[in-house]
Structure 1
């Protein structure tokens, strides 16, 4: 089950919210935990045992660390937790890929097992690691009740697709949280914005990108240059709307019941450097690697050669985290090159406008590396973009598709900037001194979530629905 499904919206979420707000305060956490476990089990009940088991290991390790009398004992339990959690992550996520490569090189093993990847394992594994590491560092107190740590690791808001929530940001809210009417409204509004991002924008961009970039078919090798560029532009927009939409919905769902998650995306395509992009993109993942890998290795307070080593480790792991394929590792190391270039060569001396163009070009080609796991398809796309495949510049199909989606594309380009947020803020400031305008502002605030929910429902109900269909040429 995913957030952007009619079953989730009108069955699971409706029932959950109705029960949650109906029960007394002391039953709200049990209701949330039950809903989270049901939500997770929906995609594979056998993996619920893995989630519960990993949480139990981390809970026990956290208590042992908190009660340890020496640093050696604390370190022992930290290592035990890391070995168990990272070992399970490596087995489920990377064993098939590694054994497949070994088989390709040496012919063994004869059969590569097809290991099913548990939903959300990367997210809840990193959350539990951060919890135990923070207990080890003395930054949080160990949770004495296992079921409350399970509540933290399994909250359906973010267990499946993030953001990676640090325990210290929700520890107080687990036991003591207050919800106002403003919280409920802002949570609903944020959720509906994220839902529309996914159902209308991300899915719409994906439809165009998949048409222009038909992975796994001969069409990817015969596509004209304009089709490849346009397809990757739509994919670039799709992946932002996809990732940020789930973060928006998680933040909104949490806000409805009193959890305040940190922002995870901050208009990354407004970046003025590659480093700035990663300060804005998937912030919870970047801060995880910074706090639990980069800084423990020595961070930037060491010799240049060690800084390079520390950054290389982080970006190798960043690529590896995203998927079990060499293209993801290449994608991570690709960013390493540009981050080192900015750190040791550019040193912030590039003008802001030029930095914006440069960083978007870097990010654009980064998504090309990210999208294509097959090396032959990757090289065909890169070569075709620059006319090296002899497929031509433009075709009737591509020009027609562009004309059909030109307004949709324009809206998406605007939607990934802060223009909407800025206009909303200006409208509010102007309305504060004008009673009639303030009334109009309140009406639009009330109507916005309803309109977005209705639009998203229509989009989800119609597989090929395009909200800009009436504005096509």
Structure 2
């Protein structure tokens, strides 16, 4: 079950909210959310529901032991033990099969490779549990004394499948004490509708357009015109943004409906003027996790240049590996390490002096090429796309079909560009500031607050009916 499915939008979520509102206190509402979360996760990954229960139990016990002990050596043992178990479980399910396939292709051993299915959302709830135990060790959070409440934190269906990575200390108070408000519910519904529209109307369409511009297979790619490769990757660049930010919007929106306030996970990353800024705007919960729990504990940038470079290498290698065991993800992480390091050591001040359009062009160029590495797990396809984009495949610059496709999708491309910038938000905020005190325009604005999400929901529903292409790209991470 995914958020962008008719059964979720029109059955599962309304039923959950209905039961949620039918209860009177926070404890009972927590039980409602927990039951629906277990049903949701069990529906998505039934065989691995027990695994989640086990991992939450390990973190639950470790945090209590850490908090109750005054002996720092004992506290460290529980911390290291808990984090090690979490990372080992993650490594086995996510990386064992790819590693065995690699060794099989190189040495022929083992003869049979076990295909381990990755539990949905394991990367996200594992990192949440690690951050929880570490924060308890650092005395930044109180250990949760009730196992079921910690399970709710880790397994809440709003965000357990594909983030954002929520820290316990940010929601601990709301788990214990929160209230339902119609203003919050209204904001949540609007945010959910925006996220659903991003996913269904924009991301899904971008994915289909990408397939029209860039065919599968090395031979087909090698003869694809230069312009088609660039345009295809531009649409993929928008697809992955609208897909993942749309999911985050829906998660944040559902949280608001129930009184939870999750931090933003995206902040218009494609308007960035540097790669460092891009990673402050893209998947904010992941980049801040690595910053606070890996980079800073390693010493950050407070030590020598060599040590800073080493710390950056570790962080960005782990960032790549977190996304998957494929060689392309490792290369993608190292690719960003190179540009982050260059900016940190040499370009920090120079980029600030460039005209805005030049620094943005630089950032977008690097980001787009990075998505080529990220997208193609087959290294031969990746190299064929990269070489073809610069005309090194002896491919033509612009084909007849490219022109037809561009004419068909030029208006849609303009919408994607507009939707990935804060222009629309700026116009809305500007209008809101101008209508203050004008009764007619204030009523018009109030009506639009109802019409807009309803219109988006209707359009998304029509797009979902009969649409077989509806994957969330980040589910496999």
**TM-score higher than 0.5 here?**
yes
Change (3 A) 1:278 1:147: same
Deviation at 1:178, TM superposition (A): 1.7
Distance in 2 separating the partners of 1:51 and 1:441: 44
- Does the 8 A contact of 1:191 with 1:249 survive in 2? yes
Deviation at 1:222, TM superposition (A): 2.4
**Structure 1 partner of 2:361:** 357
User: What's the secondary structure of 1:405's corresponding residue?
Assistant: helix
**Structure 1 partner of 2:166:** 165
**Structure 1 partner of 2:267:** 266
Are residue 22 (structure 1) and residue 27 (structure 2) matched?
no
Greater RCO (Cα-Cα under 8 Å, separation 6 or more): 2
Query: Which stretch has the larger CA shift, 106-115 or 246-255?
Result: 106-115
Deviation at 1:213, TM superposition (A): 2.0
Give the CA RMSD over aligned residues: 1.2
Distance in 1 separating the partners of 2:221 and 2:43: 35
User: What's the secondary structure of 1:143's corresponding residue?
Assistant: coil
Distance in 1 separating the partners of 2:391 and 2:301: 42
Q: Give CA-to-partner distance per residue, 1:293-352, whole Å, 9 cap, x none.
A: 001111111111110110100000000011120111111111111111111111222214
Distance in 2 separating the partners of 1:302 and 1:432: 52
Query: Which stretch has the larger CA shift, 455-464 or 427-436?
Result: 455-464
Unpaired stretches in structure 1, ≥5 consecutive residues? 466-473
**Structure 2 partner of 1:388:** 392
Change (3 A) 1:216 1:385: same
Distance in 1 separating the partners of 2:361 and 2:391: 22
Distance in 1 separating the partners of 2:416 and 2:361: 18
Distance in 2 separating the partners of 1:216 and 1:60: 50
Q: Give CA-to-partner distance per residue, 1:10-40, whole Å, 9 cap, x none.
A: 1111111111111221310000000000000
Among residues 397, 413, 435, which one is paired with 1:431 in the alignment?
A: 435
Which of structure 1's runs of 4+ aligned residues deviate more than 4 A? none
How does the TM-score come out when normalised to structure 2? 0.96
Deviation at 1:391, TM superposition (A): 2.3
Deviation at 1:462, TM superposition (A): 3.8
How does the TM-score come out when normalised to structure 1? 0.97
Distance in 1 separating the partners of 2:305 and 2:328: 27
Are residue 444 (structure 1) and residue 448 (structure 2) matched?
yes
Query: Which stretch has the larger CA shift, 125-134 or 10-19?
Result: 10-19
Q: Give CA-to-partner distance per residue, 1:211-230, whole Å, 9 cap, x none.
A: 22233474323211111011
Map 1:366-445 onto structure 2 (within 5 A). 366-445=370-449
Distance in 1 separating the partners of 2:329 and 2:401: 31
Unpaired stretches in structure 2, ≥5 consecutive residues? 470-477
**Structure 1 partner of 2:9:** 9
Deviation at 1:104, TM superposition (A): 1.7
Distance in 2 separating the partners of 1:217 and 1:342: 34
User: What's the secondary structure of 2:140's corresponding residue?
Assistant: coil
Distance in 1 separating the partners of 2:219 and 2:330: 26
Corresponding residue pairs, total: 465
**Structure 2 partner of 1:337:** 338
Distance in 2 separating the partners of 1:242 and 1:411: 15
Map 1:73-472 onto structure 2 (within 5 A). 73-216=74-217, 218-350=219-351, 351-353=354-356, 354-463=358-467
